[in-house]
Homo-oligomer: A and B are copies of this chain.
């Protein structure tokens, strides 16, 4: 049997057929045009589902389930999209809407959860029972895998590891609290901190590199200068690694999983980022022995689609 995974993003919809081992076989994309009515978006998703199945010379009867990964608040138990700031609609039952197109079980979950499941089934955590994925981007998406399945709490909206306060009364977070993990360790938070630091230091090599055009600075430039031993880049990366290690140590003390996986574009920095983090976590972890691996994600953008496809794999189908 095969599975369809859909990554519903704010700018792009990606749909793929995935085999039962979590291997992606064929993928197609279309722009989301997120301002549209939900029925148009779902109609596009359904069209792509049919196309990808045709693309591997199979039939819809070969598909066991369809899974959707979506940003925002999702009630996975009810198959309900509740709210995401990228979209114009609220409280849409994707499960019911998809029934207009297919007689195939449909699952939906938060995209961070799907990415964690994807990395768990066929990515960095393959073979591990318990893992936690932190996707660093505009925010920090948390995905908790327990016993090979997504854990999202009793009301479908748990896993908000980015909104764990690590510095009481610290930086203001978009959620209204002060000092959340996300407000220090999202890529956006790092970029903001970087821009401020470079703007304040006109003698720095990074300031010269972008010729004072601060909006051109980004984390790739930061890590390139860090690798060269630049003092300002070193300060910023080390401070960032300390905060990230603080949050990751919390996660390990609480979950003691086999692995914590770091996703998002910044995970491409691999050991350059992970080495200083692991150093701090080893120093701080409860009991003094770090048994949990800290790994970069390996599936990139496909983690979410693969995980979405796998949502229905071990479910008792209705």
A152 near B256 with CB under 8 A, answer yes
Question: Chain B residues near A154 (CB, 8 Å)?
Answer: 128-130, 256-258, 291-292
Most chain B CB inside 10 Å of its own CB: which residue of A128, A153, A155, A167? A153
A64 to chain B, nearest CB (A): 24
- Is the pair A155, B291 in contact by a Cβ cutoff of 8 Å? yes
| Nearest Cβ on chain B to A127's Cβ, whole angstroms | 12
Question: Contacts A164-B164, A167-B168; is A153 near B257 (CB within 8 Å)?
Answer: yes
A129 — which chain B residues lie within 8 A by C-beta?
154
A163 and B73 within 8 A (CB): no
Confirm or deny: A50 has a beta carbon within 8 angstroms of a beta carbon on chain B: no
- Judge whether A142 is part of the interface by a CB distance below 8 angstroms: yes
How many residues belonging to A are interface residues under a CB distance threshold of 8 Å? Answer: 46
- Give chain B residues whose Cβ lies under 8 Å from the Cβ of A130: 153-154
Q: Quick check: is A16 within 8 A (CB to CB) of the other chain? A: no
- Contacts of A130-164 to chain B: CB distance below 8 A: 130, 142, 144, 146, 151-161, 163-164
Q: A36-44, A169-177, A268-276: which lies at the B interface?
A: A169-177
User: Does chain B have a CB within 8 A of A253?
Assistant: yes
Instruction: Report the Cα distance A159→B151, complex, angstroms.
Output: 15
Quick one: which of B158, B175, B243, B257 contacts A255, CB cutoff 8 A?
A: B158
Say whether A97 faces chain B, with CB atoms less than 8 Å apart: no
Would A256 and B168 count as touching, CB distance under 8 A?
no
**Shortest Cβ distance from residue A203 to the other chain B in the assembled complex, whole angstroms:** 29
| Residue numbers in B under 8 Å from A158 (CB-CB) | 253-257
Alpha-carbon distance between A154 and B152 when the two chains are bound, in angstroms: 18
Complex CA gap A164/B146 in Å reads 20
* A164 engages B287 (CB within 8 Å): no
Interface of chain A, main secondary structure = loop
A238 within 8 A of B: no
- In the complex, which of the residues B146, B165, B170, B288 contacts A151, with contact meaning CB atoms closer than 8 Å? B146
Q: Does A284 contact B (CB under 8 A)?
A: yes
Closest-by-CB residue of B relative to A152 is B256
Q: A172–B34 Cα gap in the complex (Å)?
A: 49
A246 at the interface (CB under 8 A from B): yes
Q: Who on chain B is nearest to A155 by CB? A: B291
Contacts A142-B254, A176-B284; A165 near B163 (Cβ below 8 A): no
Chain B residues with Cβ below 8 Å from A161 are: 253-254
Report B-chain residues with C-beta under 8 Å of the C-beta of A179: 168
Contacting residues, chain B, for A65 (C-beta < 8 A): none
Q: Can you list 11 contacts pairing A with B, beta carbon distance less than 8 Å?
A: A129-B154, A142-B254, A154-B258, A158-B256, A159-B254, A159-B256, A163-B250, A164-B254, A165-B249, A166-B166, A167-B168
